[in-house]
Amino acid sequence: MQYRTIYPVLCKESSCLAEAAYEFTDAEAKVKVTDENGSSATSIETVIIGHACEDHFDKVQQMLKEIYDGDKESNNV
C-alpha cells in the first residue's frame, strides 16, 4: 500500500479559500517520449493552470487569459 498527502484545491481568486469547483487547463507542455527500440515522439500533455470556485469562475478565467494569452502575444513580437 502506498499513500501521499493530498491538499484541497482552492479557488485562485485573491484570498478566497473556497474549494474549487472548476479546473482550467492548457495543452502547452511538450514531452519527448522514447520507447525501448529508440524511437522517439513528442507528446503534448495537459497542464493545470488554475482553479476557481463557483462564485469566481469568470474572474479567474479572465485573469488566466490575461496571464497566459499575454505571454503568447509577447513571445510572438
pLDDT of residue 23: 93
Decide if 59 is inside a domain: yes
Nine cell digits for residue 37:
527500440
Structural domain harbouring 47: 22-75
HEC readout, 10-44: ECCCCCCCCECCEEEEEEEEEEEEECCCCCEEEEE
| Per-residue model confidence as pLDDT tens digits over 30-69 | 778 888 888 888 877 888 899 999 999 999 999 999 998 8
Residue 16 lies in a domain: no
Least Cα distance to 68 among 43, 44, 49, 45 occurs for 49
Residue 29 has a pLDDT of: 64
Task: Identify whether 7 is part of a domain.
Answer: no
Is 9 part of a structural domain of the chain?
Answer: no
Where residue 24 falls among pLDDT bands split at 50, 70, 90? very high
Determine the 3-state secondary structure of 58 from DSSP. Answer: helix
pLDDT given at position 43: 78
pTM beyond 0.85: the answer is: no
Report if residue 11 sits inside a domain. Answer: no
Is residue 48 domain-resident?
Answer: yes
Residue 22 has pLDDT above 90, yes or no: yes
Number of independent structural domains in the chain? 1
Residue 14 lies in a domain: no
